[in-house]
């Protein structure tokens, strides 16, 4: 998809990070904007920034099926079928996998996985219907996963599980769409450490899924993630440009840090050679040593 003028973009997590930067590029390309976020003040600020453009702004918890269904209805009534759906809203959580409470699983999987599920199940039929009516109509769905969806870094299992599921969902979506149409495409975004605010996503955690007092491993995970993300050299704006480049080129995989694919290759070789998982810290053993010492101490 290369023609964006007058088309419609639905963006979840639009109040900050990748969502906000993608919205800026979509606006610059003349698109109608559907902005969704669970944080009202961030959503209001984003909507005000794009006041000169056709905008529909909705406070939506993407984990809630009824809220996403109401969003889809509102989009259809205001703009018709969207041409670009960016299922982007996400939250982060870490710690040793057996130490995560049920509420951790419900929160992270609810947003990171079910938010994408709802976006796909609601907007894909609308897009296919529009394509069936107009042979020139084009659409694209981009789901935000993570390099954690291609790897399994330790001490962040709940997040890994959610993002692996998004990669699987997206790959299947790509194949399923190819069976029925050439007019609607799909991509998966797998960013590495990019400053977006996701490390502070607990600010929007629902009260009914409140967290227990963090364990030692969860505090260690938070500190390590904060450090890695804050040191990231790529910006959310850089990644947003990659999203549009991928749509222009009809490219499925979007990697912010292609150098990280070396670790993906190692993981796949582990599988193919039936060998035990490779130490993720083999190239930086001092980091692994400090983590083991912290957890065992």
Count the neighbouring beta carbons within 10 Å of the beta carbon of residue 110.
19
Note the Cα 178 to chain centre separation in Å.
22
Give the span between the Cα atoms of 276 and 291, in whole angstroms: 20
Distance of CA 278 to the CA centre of its chain: 26
Beta strands in 194-267 (DSSP E): 253-255
Per DSSP, the three-state class of 222 is: helix
Q: Is 192 a catalytic residue?
A: no
Q: Is 142 strand, coil or helix?
A: strand
Whose CA is closest to 46, among 87, 15, 9?
Answer: 15
**Which of 4, 159, 174, 253 is flagged as catalytic?**
159
Q: Which helix (H) or strand (E) holds 116?
A: helix 115-133
Query: Catalytic site residues?
Result: 159
């Amino acid at each position: 998809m290369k023609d964006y003028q007058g088309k419609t973009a639905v963006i979840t997590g639009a109040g900050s990070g990748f969502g906000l930067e993608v919205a800026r590029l979509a606006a610059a390309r003349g698109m109608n904007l559907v902005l969704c976020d669970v944080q009202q003040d961030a959503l209001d600020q984003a909507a005000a920034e794009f006041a000169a453009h056709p905008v529909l702004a909705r406070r939506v918890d993407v984990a809630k099926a009824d809220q996403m269904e109401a969003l889809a209805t509102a989009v259809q009534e205001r703009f018709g079928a969207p041409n670009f759906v960016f299922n982007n809203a996400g939250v982060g959580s870490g710690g040793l996998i057996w130490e995560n409470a049920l509420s951790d699983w419900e929160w992270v999987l609810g947003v990171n996985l079910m938010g994408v599920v709802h976006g796909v199940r609601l907007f894909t039929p609308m897009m296919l219907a529009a394509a069936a009516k107009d042979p020139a109509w084009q659409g694209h769905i981009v789901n935000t996963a993570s390099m954690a969806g291609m790897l399994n870094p330790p001490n962040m299992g709940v997040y890994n599980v959610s993002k692996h599921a998004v990669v699987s969902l997206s790959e299947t979506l790509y194949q399923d769409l190819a069976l029925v149409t050439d007019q609607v495409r799909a991509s998966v975004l797998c960013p590495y450490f990019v400053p977006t605010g996701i490390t502070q996503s607990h600010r929007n955690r629902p009260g009914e899924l409140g967290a227990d007092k963090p364990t030692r491993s969860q505090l260690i995970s938070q500190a390590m993630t904060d450090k890695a993300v804050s040191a990231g050299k790529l910006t959310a704006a850089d990644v947003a440009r990659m999203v549009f480049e991928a749509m222009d080129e009809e490219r499925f995989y979007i990697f912010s840090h292609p150098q990280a694919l070396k670790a993906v290759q190692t993981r796949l070789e582990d599988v193919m050679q039936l060998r035990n998982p490779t130490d993720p810290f083999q190239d930086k053993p001092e980091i692994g040593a400090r983590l083991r010492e912290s957890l065992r101490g």
